Structure 1
Amino acid sequence: MTDPTLTFLGAAGTVTGSRFLVEGDRARVLVDAGLYQGLPALRRRNWAPFPVDPASIDEIVLTHAHLDHTGYLPRLVHDGFHHVVTCTAETAELAAIVLRDSAHLQEEDAAYANRLGFSKHHPALPLYDHGDVERTLPLIRTVTLHTPHPVGRTSTVTLRPAGHILGSATATLEVDGHRVLFSGDLGRRHHPLLRPPADPPRVDTIVVESTYGDRLHPTPDPSVLADAVRRTIERGGSVLIPAFAVDRTELVLIELRRLMRSGEVPHVPVFVDSPMALAALDVYQRALDSRSEQLRPELNRGRDIFEAGDLHATRTADDSRRLNRPASPSIIISASGMAAGGRVVHHLAHQLPDRRNTVVLTGFQAEGTRGRRLLDGAREVKIHGRYVPVRAEVVSVPDFSVHSDADETIGWLRRAPGAPGTVYVVHGEQPAAAQLADRIRSELGWCAIVPVYGERVLLD
């Protein structure tokens, strides 16, 4: 029997494209099948041939539904994968929403690029289409938390709550007697809706995320968002919030509801302009109604938990276009959270040139995204082949992050019942991953490695 191997096919030196291939004597398992986002050099990896034949993969395990962990699935199916995809029930529901939306946006962006002729490719094509997604969804098998489930022919996987978004889980894979734990994206102990991440079990190897591996989250300051909303409304503008459709939209709505009910901000119309966000909101509401075990038991289960005053669901493209220039001061929540695609990009094109408006960034902005450029103070951003001046106010509100920071991640690792042989630090930009690895070595005394893209290691 040979030792099993682990190959880092994504999220190595970057926060996107999570893909980890574990191979044993009789099992080939892919943990996460994420889409690369951000820098062009990273996005091009989505188009490269997968390093192994997708048809040879016995199973794919998903830690959660975000696009950088699921968005490559339909491409793998397009290229021959036809076995089982394993995840929690909530991840299955949310992944169906995310993948259908992804296919729609890719088809729409390709058509738009072909009409205007700004693509380098002729014709521009989507990475996958809705047909690929519909062939993917029947492959998904849902499993319960805390219970080992068979994976492939000789392996098992155990999912435990990760506290990041609804359905998120850590994954402990046992292959040929070796136990490797994948953190996925780790949440925080004080998520407003979710239970905290489960403590790590005893394993031989840990693969841990490092999105915020070089920093700590600031003490929450609700006045930052409240002040930005008040300033914007006083000058007759609108607040545009690029927000991840899954989980971030829910948290922003909860906070706006609190601010409006307390009188800290005026009551103005709040528009949720994302079909994906609206569908995800329904999944969260059903989880509340059914008392999902992932949710905090003390939650108020009333149906108005997300009702932020004058709330409007923007479903049609025509209604969305009207929000490009709102008729009166309002708050618009629209995907994507890094302003990389979706309806929010059209709103930015129209609203950034107006000094009355404000763009509120509520989460991590990956290198190479429009959100990152806005966060870094860009005076112009390129949208659909044209440069748009940035005259609107740009405000960062980090209070909504649902990624553990460096101290929280170290604390989670410290709660492991025993030292692993090796910790591999992934899903972070290089400085963040390197600094977290240094802390693991110095504070825990463990072997910590920041792998490079494509690196293959033995699990012994």
Structure 2
Amino acid sequence: MSSVDQQLDELRTEIKSELPSDISVSEVKYEGPELVVYTRDPKEFAQQGDLIRQLASKLRKRITVRPDPDVLAEPRDAREQILSVIPDDAGVSDLDFHKDTGEVVIEAEKPGMVIGRHGSTLREITKEVGWTPEVVRTPPIESSTVSNVRNFLKQERDERRDVLERVGRQIHREEMSDEEYVRITTLGCCREVGRAAFVLSTPETRILIDCGDKPGAEGEVPYLQVPEALGAGASNLDAVVLTHAHLDHSALLPLLFKYGYDGPIYTTEPTRDLMGLLQLDYLDVAAKEGRTPPYDSEMVREAIKHTIPLEYGDVTDIAPDVKLTLHNAGHILGSAVSHFHIGDGLYNVAFSGDIHYDDTRLFNGAVNDFPRVETLVLESTYGGRNDYQTDQDDAEQNLKRVIKETYEKGGKVLIPAFAVGRSQEMMLVLEEAMRSGDIPEMPVHLDGMIWEATAIHTTYPEYLRDELRDRIFHDDENPFLADQFNHIDGGEEERQQVADDGPCIILSTSGMVTGGPIMSWLRHLGSDADSTLTFVGYQAQGTLGRRIQNGWDEIPIDDDDTGRQSTLSLNMDVETVEGFSGHADRQGLENFVKTMNPRPEKVLCVHGDESSTQDLSSALYHDYNMRTFAPKNLETFRFV
């Protein structure tokens, strides 16, 4: 008998000893980080609401209780009983029964009403029918991504359960080494922006954090070939943790499965959906530009199938000697600061990913409240000594000024924007400015993936800023549904119509002018001296966006009809409105560290140009008397 089987036998005995005699336990197994308890008495379990919580506390494990399939009410009968328990106002749109696990997935417009106070309605459902309810939100804006991900995971349930059981056994395996060390190896994004990737290793475990590309630098990928990563084989990795979905952090995750990785990816649920959206677009753009993609769409599906979503604040075992907790990073939807607790109190490491320290219109500011962090790996995108961003109110006033001036000339405002995060922030600013009369009402056209990314945002309002979430939840005032917003879905013909019409605002991907529909808009509007190209986000070195910011007025552009490259004279005004970045500025980064209690002993400053990482590292060392580093790629740090 393996050590895991023996452990499960002991857990089953202990659970039975803790339960009342009228509640049976037929099977106990691991599925990913969760311990799943099967019972023939689900209704009795549900009647004792605190029982699962008490068991989880006693065993120090996340526990899910499921009914044996042969004690379940028939789906036809159960459907009527479930709907009689749930308030009509919940807006239930679908019930999906899975007899193999005894789960019923309830899709509703207002999941909170299905859950009930402290889960009371869920327990009532189980008491009535025996089925274990799982609740998901009906997207207020129809999302093909959310729908496709849910349908795909439904089709792959059997294989996904096999994956989870295998992962669960791997997590709870017996520790084999008596050694103690903690190491971090940098595989990318050191003294540069992009291709984020790190390996966190102990004698037992190797975890990859992020695996992204580098904007504007084709072929520059993380150093995955080194022994710490895939050099010794993909099975060398125990787990992958993704901080957020932006491609400079997520683009190359599917490549791991091409090379044989078969383990879990831990991230938040919205990051999983956005990751799939952006990765498929990444393949599409590569094909359109005549480049050979590094993987195919099947690998994207594999990545989604292997993703185990976690909620903020949940402490989760991901290896025999590592617990992971994700916290809001304030950067984009679902972005997370990843905190690793290693060993039995041995060491703690936090990876910031990309953070925004202060509240924005879209998100609450980044969380930095951890019981312990000895080492912090900190982004430094705006870590330079002069990288102080404009106050958000001033930024909004500057944007409104640009819009009003362009409107008065009869021109159009063209804003290159990242589909995820920046675009939704812009939408909130523009909706309020028009509603309050600060700028004239005019169409706001959304091109590229912006509408789909916005739909995903509305699917997960619990990840948005408190006030915005409340508007969406309670007031039926969803600002993303304002009449001004128009989804461009008619291609070149619709773009030509917009170009021929009157003043408007256009939000278009790609945010760094490296391809996508923004190139079409430049062909349509680039020669129009009355229109304004307005940058609201970071433009990385080597991108066309950075070159235009630096004064280029003759830009290379592909002709849609012939495919040949020509030169476009850019007559539009070019403006940069600072203050809308999803990244903390220099002050925000310092405040993130300063207000940590206790502060870390060491800080690795990464994900920034060389001067930015070195400036921030030097400042933190001098101001807070901590050991700081601005590492290069392929350095390894040992902490224990």
TM-score, structure 2 normalization: 0.66
Asked whether the 8 Å contact 1:21–1:31 carries over to 2, the reply is yes
Asked whether the 8 Å contact 1:64–1:168 carries over to 2, the reply is yes
Alpha-carbon offset, residue 272 of structure 1? 0.5
Which one is further off, 220-229 or 91-100? 220-229
Q: What residue number does 1:21 align with?
A: 199
Residue of structure 1 aligned with 2:267, choices 77, 87, 97: 87
Matching of residue 430 in structure 1 with residue 599 in structure 2 = no
Which one is further off, 341-350 or 68-77? 341-350
Alpha-carbon offset, residue 380 of structure 1? 2.0
1:242 is aligned with what amino acid?
Answer: P
Q: Normalized per residue, which structure has more helix?
A: 2
Alpha-carbon offset, residue 261 of structure 1? 2.1
Matching of residue 184 in structure 1 with residue 347 in structure 2 = no
Q: For 1:63 and 1:323, how far apart are their aligned partners in 2? A: 40
Matching of residue 216 in structure 1 with residue 396 in structure 2 = no
Q: For 1:152 and 1:324, how far apart are their aligned partners in 2? A: 54
* Alignment RMSD (CA, Å): 2.1
Asked whether the 8 Å contact 1:85–1:141 carries over to 2, the reply is yes
Q: What residue number does 2:439 align with?
A: 265
1:32 is aligned with what amino acid?
Answer: D
Q: What residue number does 1:32 align with?
A: 210
Alignment of 1:21-420 (within 5 A): 21-38=199-216, 40=217, 43-46=218-221, 50-51=225-226, 52-53=229-230, 54-110=234-290, 124-176=291-343, 177-201=346-370, 202-214=372-384, 215-219=387-391, 220-221=393-394, 222-274=396-448, 276-288=449-461, 292=462, 294-297=464-467, 299-301=470-472, 302-307=476-481, 309-319=483-493, 321-322=495-496, 325-384=499-558, 385-420=565-600
Alpha-carbon offset, residue 92 of structure 1? 1.4
Which one is further off, 179-188 or 130-139? 130-139
Between the aligned residues of both structures, percent identity stands at: 28
Alpha-carbon offset, residue 158 of structure 1? 0.9
Q: For 2:602 and 2:373, how far apart are their aligned partners in 1? A: 10
Alpha-carbon offset, residue 426 of structure 1? 0.5
TM-score, structure 1 normalization: 0.90
C-alpha spacing 1:22/1:448, structure 2 compared with 1 (3 Å): same
Which one is further off, 68-77 or 230-239? 230-239
1:414 is aligned with what amino acid?
Answer: K
Q: For 1:285 and 1:96, how far apart are their aligned partners in 2? A: 17
Alpha-carbon offset, residue 47 of structure 1? 8.5
Alpha-carbon offset, residue 332 of structure 1? 1.0
Asked whether the 8 Å contact 1:62–1:86 carries over to 2, the reply is yes
Alpha-carbon offset, residue 439 of structure 1? 1.2
Alpha-carbon offset, residue 413 of structure 1? 0.8
Asked whether the 8 Å contact 2:255–2:294 carries over to 1, the reply is yes
Alpha-carbon offset, residue 316 of structure 1? 4.1
C-alpha spacing 1:308/1:373, structure 2 compared with 1 (3 Å): farther
Asked whether the 8 Å contact 1:28–1:152 carries over to 2, the reply is no
Q: For 1:437 and 1:32, how far apart are their aligned partners in 2? A: 22
Q: Deviations over 1:167-197 (max 9, x none)?
A: 1110012344321110111113221122221
When the two structures are aligned, how many residues end up with a matched partner? 440
Asked whether the 8 Å contact 1:269–1:331 carries over to 2, the reply is yes
Alpha-carbon offset, residue 447 of structure 1? 0.7
1:168 is aligned with what amino acid?
Answer: S
Q: For 1:347 and 1:323, how far apart are their aligned partners in 2? A: 12
Q: For 1:320 and 1:20, how far apart are their aligned partners in 2? A: 43
Q: Deviations over 1:418-452 (max 9, x none)?
A: 24331100011111111111110111111110000
SS in 2 for 1:45: coil
Return structure 1 stretches of 4+ with deviation > 6 angstroms.
none
Alpha-carbon offset, residue 353 of structure 1? 2.5
Larger radius of gyration: 2
Alpha-carbon offset, residue 25 of structure 1? 1.0
Q: For 2:219 and 2:547, how far apart are their aligned partners in 1? A: 20
Q: Which runs of 5+ in 2 are unaligned?
A: 1-178, 559-564
Alpha-carbon offset, residue 2 of structure 1? 4.9
Q: For 2:222 and 2:356, how far apart are their aligned partners in 1? A: 30
Alpha-carbon offset, residue 270 of structure 1? 1.2
C-alpha spacing 1:314/1:216, structure 2 compared with 1 (3 Å): same
Asked whether the 8 Å contact 1:157–1:171 carries over to 2, the reply is yes
C-alpha spacing 1:348/1:459, structure 2 compared with 1 (3 Å): farther
Q: For 2:580 and 2:300, how far apart are their aligned partners in 1? A: 30
Q: For 1:79 and 1:389, how far apart are their aligned partners in 2? A: 45
2:263 is aligned with what amino acid?
Answer: H
Asked whether the 8 Å contact 1:57–1:81 carries over to 2, the reply is yes
Q: What residue number does 1:115 align with?
A: none
Q: Which runs of 5+ in 1 are unaligned?
A: 111-123
C-alpha spacing 1:263/1:452, structure 2 compared with 1 (3 Å): same
C-alpha spacing 1:45/1:441, structure 2 compared with 1 (3 Å): same
Matching of residue 455 in structure 1 with residue 624 in structure 2 = no
Which one is further off, 396-405 or 207-216? 396-405
Q: For 1:440 and 1:430, how far apart are their aligned partners in 2? A: 16
C-alpha spacing 1:318/1:132, structure 2 compared with 1 (3 Å): farther
Which one is further off, 218-227 or 15-24? 218-227
Asked whether the 8 Å contact 1:270–1:309 carries over to 2, the reply is no
